[in-house]
Chains A and B, each alone.
Chain A
Amino acid sequence: GENVEQHPSTLSVQEGDSAVIKCTYSDSASNYFPWYKQELGKRPQLIIDIRSNVGEKKDQRIAVTLNKTAKHFSLHITETQPEDSAVYFCAGGTGGGADGLTFGKGTHLIIQP
């Protein structure tokens, strides 16, 4: 089955700087890669996703890039703000499949004032 590795486990950045979280996956059949944000005590919520037919997707200050050849994808957050502090999870799955997503172990992003 799919295995998703996520790094780093903790990331501390100064407010206003950029943050990058990286994930690798093992199953070349995976073609859908969402990112979820989980604030303290809250449920995970989808913030951005990418399908394997595109290499990059942006939504305001967040972007996701995908390298199918190397089987890795990354989340980029620019101009970080205090409200970006949360745990971020990457995930991989096979579009059209009825299986669930395989999640990475999560990255705790800390925004230092």
Chain B
Amino acid sequence: EAQVTQNPRYLITVTGKKLTVTCSQNMNHEYMSWYRQDPGLGLRQIYYSMNVEVTDKGDVPEGYKVSRKEKRNFPLILESPSPNQTSLYFCASRVGLAVYNEQFFGPGTRLTVL
């Protein structure tokens, strides 16, 4: 089954404790991205990647890092999480680079930073 998976689905942590949210897709998609969703603010892009070893900042990259060492995986790293990073995070992927191509979202990761 073609899908985007994320782990963990739920995470409660404390300020300053490094964490990684994994994202994996089995559709051989070139383009992957991370969004955060906050009430009243919609979906905002954090980082995106056009292919292996190619990443770039989105609209709200502060406090996040990403890597793309393999085509299928695109982990999101919070080196020192803070309470304002409490949010619902979605990974997404699409084939090719053109924005016309349908974007597939993962199931989401709900992160709480205390």
Contacts and interface: CB of A to CB of B under 8 A. Distances in A.
Whether chain B is bound by chain A comes out as yes
Interface in A1-46: 1, 6, 9, 32, 34, 42-46
B43 A95 contact: no
Contact of B99 (A6, A9, A101, A104): A101
Nearest to A43: B105
Contacts, number: 61
Contacts of A51: 100
B50 A98 contact: yes
B41 to A, nearest CB: 6
Most buried by B among A34, A97, A99, A100: A100
A100 B58 contact: yes
A101 B98 CA distance: 11
Given A43-B90, A43-B105, A101-B103, A106 B98 contact: no
A113 interface: no
Given A43-B108, A44-B105, A97 B43 contact: no
Nearest to A100: B45
B97 interface: yes
Interface string B31-67: 1010100001111110010100000001100000000
A40 B99 CA distance: 26
A44 B90 contact: yes
Most buried by B among A32, A42, A104, A105: A105
B43 A44 contact: yes
11 contacts: A32-B99, A34-B103, A44-B90, A46-B102, A51-B100, A89-B42, A94-B99, A96-B97, A99-B48, A100-B99, A102-B59
